[in-house]
Amino acid sequence: LRLRPTTVEVDPGIFRAYDIRGVVGRDLSVAVAELIGQAIGTLMAEQDLGDIVVGRDGRLSGPELAAGLIEGLRKAGRNVTDIGMVPTPVAYFGAYHLRTGSSVAVTGSHNPPDYNGFKIVIGGQTLSGEAITDLYTRISENRLHQTALPGTLAERDVSADYIQRIADDVQLDRRLKVVVDAGNGVAGEIAPQLLEAIGAEVIPLFCEVDGTFPNHHPDPSEPHNLEDLIQTVKRFDADLGLAFDGDGDRLGVVTKDGEIIFPDRLLMLFAADVL
């Protein structure tokens, strides 16, 4: 018999503009994650969406919070595919590749180690603003869907498919030597494999996934977090340095001369290529 507290306190402050985010142990617990999962599952039920992909970053609290979230989603009758520890973009890819159109990445993004959170896509739409506040309202008013029979749970690894999809699309004209600084975030496992698959020679830096982030904070938007990368690019006479944030959806770029190419300029380069 599992005895459960009748009410779980949920802090409305964790429901932010583009994601749900808080400090583990203070704002976030397994019970809170389960309620969030059930609220997401309720929203899906209303839109007649049955299947969802769940991934998580490399934070220490990831496995338990993902388990709580999955429990809540299944309680609302949703079928979950757990794709394990992956960067946030791979979770988005999983929703597309497995044709669910819905995914949750359990991630604290570029925040300190004691944070975690949820980035949510439902039916191809990223939840933001009122749609996120609405999840809190459902929880606080106890308007949560529950089915007699819980949804199913399957495990699936989509990392190889992700790498293949990109390598089929992009190959380097010449072999570049690239230093990859993952800041001990979740991109450390897949980014070097991906770059090798498109024809780069990779020098990994802080690519061991470690949720305590022992070397530097995994946020490439702060120039001081790129100092190790700049030194390593110079030391190995590499062509390029790439740095990722904790969940692998922010990119820092440094040239062989150690110049930082800031995100607005990167966007211009990418836009020119896409257009």
Contact present, 269 and 246 (Cβ < 8 Å): no
> pLDDT band at residue 6, thresholds of 50, 70 and 90?
low
Active-site position among 102, 103, 109, 159: 109
* pLDDT greater than 50 at residue 47: yes
State the pLDDT at residue 93: 98
State the pLDDT at residue 3: 46
Average pLDDT across the chain, whole number: 96
The CA dihedral of 117, 123, 129, 132, to the nearest 10 degrees, is: -50
Question: How far apart are the C-alpha atoms of 219 and 240, rounded to whole Å?
Answer: 18
| Average pLDDT of the residues in 50-77 | 98
* pLDDT greater than 60 at residue 1: no
Establish whether 102 is a catalytic residue. no
Q: Report in angstroms the alpha-carbon separations of 174 from 177, 196, 239.
A: 10, 12, 11
- Would you list the DSSP string of 60-93? TTHHHHHHHHHHHHHHTT-EEEEEEE--HHHHHH
> pLDDT band at residue 22, thresholds of 50, 70 and 90?
very high
| Average pLDDT of the residues in 4-32 | 91
pTM for the model? 0.94
State the pLDDT at residue 84: 98
State the pLDDT at residue 7: 78
State the pLDDT at residue 174: 97
> pLDDT band at residue 251, thresholds of 50, 70 and 90?
very high
State the pLDDT at residue 82: 98
State the pLDDT at residue 214: 97
pLDDT above 70 covers a percentage of the chain that reads 98
State the pLDDT at residue 273: 87
Which helix (H) or strand (E) segment is 274 a member of?
helix 263-274
